[in-house]
Structure 1
Amino acid sequence: MPIHRTTRNTDTVRTIAPGDQPARPDVRLGGPAARSRPTSGGAGPDRLVARHTVQTSTADYSLVLNGPAWMTRRMLGEAIGDAVAELRAIDVTYSPLREGSLVSRLRRGEVAPEAYPPLLDIVERCNAMRAATDGWFDAWAVPGGFDPSGLIKGWAVERAAARLRAAGIEDYAVVSGADLTVRGHAPHGGPWRVAIHHPYQTKRPPIMLAMTGGAVGTSGVAGHQNHVVDPHTGEAVHHLAAATVTGPDLAVADAYATALFAAGRAGLAWFPTADGYRALLAPTR
């Protein structure tokens, strides 16, 4: 896969050389066959591994939890329930697709973001990403007004991951579409092995990452066409087949990926960032 790398690897995200790639990744992202799901095998005898999927109005989520030795099955189940409740609550309260959500009410001018701290957090994050990308990520440059869709899924994943950490789980992967956040180790005991597939050219080998922390945000990797527009013109963009960004926070990585997909290679002026975000771009040809 012809990927442009923009900066060196970090301690928590490492590119695996083609000759060292494992036969079985833990997570596959992208490709036309909807392979964006965890595929990890079993863990050692002293660890509990749980997998769970949940569907909301805007996204599907998959969780893989590698529980600590002291955690019981009941405790693991409660941690999953707490993370799932967070994802469902965010969908009901902030989904742009729900007429009664705070985001929809904000679009209609019925509420002010200052009245709801999480809504204000979303608005401020979108403001920050518009400034960081020279306007190529612009949640206001869409039909109907404010739409944080390019950021809010990653925001939801990070909040669900925070619930897992609060329960004492330090080894997990939370995946949604071609986006993920991971921490610690996979069930096999090593770093999470993430395969990023080209969205259309299925015979190309994937890019393989070894991760013990951080996020992968994508735009175009899932194979959806005409889903990103140039915020300056309103026209659908086709500069790239895919844009992938790795970094500490999925909401930020998602927004950067959306902006890069819109801007094409011109967006590489933003990378590398001082806070650890790096870009992988797949050209259209």
Structure 2
Amino acid sequence: MGTVFSFDVRGGDPGAVRSALEDAVAGLHRVDEVFSTYRDGSQISRLARGELTVDECDPEVAEVLELGAEAERASEGWFSTSYEGRLDPTGIVKGWSVERAARALATVPGVTGVSLNGGGDVQLLGVPGPQRPWRVGVSDPLRPGGLAAVISAAGLSELAVATSGTAERGAHIVDPRTGRSAVTDLVAVTVVAPSVTWADCWATAAFAMGSRQGLRWLESLPDVEALLITAGDEVRCTGGLASRLG
């Protein structure tokens, strides 16, 4: 998927954990093979060209497209898996694959905590140790090497952190209304939620909306907090974000 994945698994038999990690990595490679829009022979590319039907694809394709349709409805079209008639579920696949792999690792007997980071999209499950919550640093998009915030999972069994913005990959987020790069006052949106599948989608949608509309919309979502940073170095937060800082 053109990015780096890192795993932190606590507890469990080392042999069982190693085997589960191998399965997780193989699964992520398989996701890339199926969903990559850069591979002409991928199922998603063939589906887009009409060479396959959804029923002829792996079951995961239908699952991801259904999730994408749900995200499009919830965001009133600001998140989409198609642009100008071209199928592209990239905006949901990475978060979905991170969450799926993390939850599989968490089922290994004896595992007490899992942190899986896929290109900055993080799924946290369980705890890293006694009296120790998971903590995630949020990069400052305007100050390379600095942190804009630190998110804590204290008191929670699962938490996800996902960021969409221009700092790492430039203007790559698409405005579904135009099919072109989204032009807003934002440089980054970080969303905190239980599921990284949805956190990733909501961060992308809110970025396309811009800071004012994006913040209002994020405030309306249950169990979601967010940090928005504008190009003018203005920081805007949802009302409950302070409870997740640490």
**TM-score, normalised via structure 1 length:** 0.73
Deviations 1:161-195 (A, max 9, x none): 12202323330110012210011222575011111
Q: Kindly indicate whether residue 92 of structure 2 is the aligned counterpart of residue 151 of structure 1.
A: yes
Change (3 A) 1:174 1:184: same
Alignment correspondent of 1:241: 187
User: Which whole-Å CA distance do the structure 1 matches of 2:143 and 2:227 have between them?
Assistant: 16
Alignment correspondent of 1:277: 224
- More divergent stretch after superposition (220-229 vs 58-67): 220-229
In the TM superposition, residue 273 of structure 1 has moved relative to its aligned partner by 4.6
Q: Do the aligned residues in 1 keep the contact of 2:77 with 2:176 (CA within 8 Å)?
A: yes
Q: Kindly indicate whether residue 176 of structure 2 is the aligned counterpart of residue 231 of structure 1.
A: yes
Q: Do the aligned residues in 1 keep the contact of 2:6 with 2:116 (CA within 8 Å)?
A: yes
Find the partner of 2:59 among 113, 117, 128: 117
Change (3 A) 1:170 1:91: farther
Change (3 A) 1:231 1:183: same
User: Which whole-Å CA distance do the structure 1 matches of 2:76 and 2:62 have between them?
Assistant: 21
Q: Do the aligned residues in 2 keep the contact of 1:178 with 1:222 (CA within 8 Å)?
A: no
Q: Kindly indicate whether residue 12 of structure 2 is the aligned counterpart of residue 65 of structure 1.
A: no
User: Which whole-Å CA distance do the structure 1 matches of 2:129 and 2:90 have between them?
Assistant: 31
In the TM superposition, residue 221 of structure 1 has moved relative to its aligned partner by 6.4
Q: Do the aligned residues in 2 keep the contact of 1:133 with 1:267 (CA within 8 Å)?
A: no
Root mean square deviation, CA, Å = 2.1
Q: Do the aligned residues in 1 keep the contact of 2:47 with 2:54 (CA within 8 Å)?
A: yes
Change (3 A) 1:90 1:170: farther
Letter in 1 for 2:92: L
Judging by fraction of residues, say which structure has more helix: 2
In the TM superposition, residue 130 of structure 1 has moved relative to its aligned partner by 0.9
Deviations 1:101-130 (A, max 9, x none): 111111111222234421111111111111
Change (3 A) 1:66 1:147: same
Alignment correspondent of 2:207: 261
Change (3 A) 1:123 1:203: closer
**TM-score, normalised via structure 2 length:** 0.84
Find the partner of 1:136 among 78, 103, 106: 78
Change (3 A) 1:205 1:217: closer
Q: Kindly indicate whether residue 35 of structure 2 is the aligned counterpart of residue 89 of structure 1.
A: no
Alignment correspondent of 2:237: none
Q: Kindly indicate whether residue 49 of structure 2 is the aligned counterpart of residue 103 of structure 1.
A: no
Alignment correspondent of 2:102: 161
Structure 1 unmatched ranges of 5 or more: 1-56
Change (3 A) 1:75 1:221: farther
